[in-house]
Structure 1
Amino acid sequence: MGVIEIEVDPLPCKWCRRPLEQRRWWTPKRFCNGWHRLKYRVTQFFALVGTLLG
């Protein structure tokens, strides 16, 4: 029995667009680190508030 090899293309970080190495195909990485994740979520939140109030 052999190991199944699944190749996953590197996705860019959603904040800085740097390509990320994907170690798992079932949960791809979307951010370089926790700070980029936090910055992205905060900007998304304020964009949503801006569209709801505007």
Structure 2
Amino acid sequence: MRQTIESINQTFKGQLDLERHGARTPAGVIIRVLTRILALTAATWHNDRPDNRSSVP
């Protein structure tokens, strides 16, 4: 379980650039983190849709 949590944490730090969020208030940090998570989720969903995959190699 710990390894899974650490893996997710590293993914968030790397892909979402959470160590340099640039927010000035705690509310700003929350908004920026949630926005980046939403963007990553939307991109993943979009890329995994069956109609986005080409049947031609």
TM-score (norm 2): 0.42
Larger radius of gyration between Structure 1 and Structure 2:
1
- Structure number with the higher helix fraction is 2
Between the two structures, name the one with larger relative contact order (CA 8 Å, sep ≥ 6): 1
- Structure number with the higher strand fraction is 1
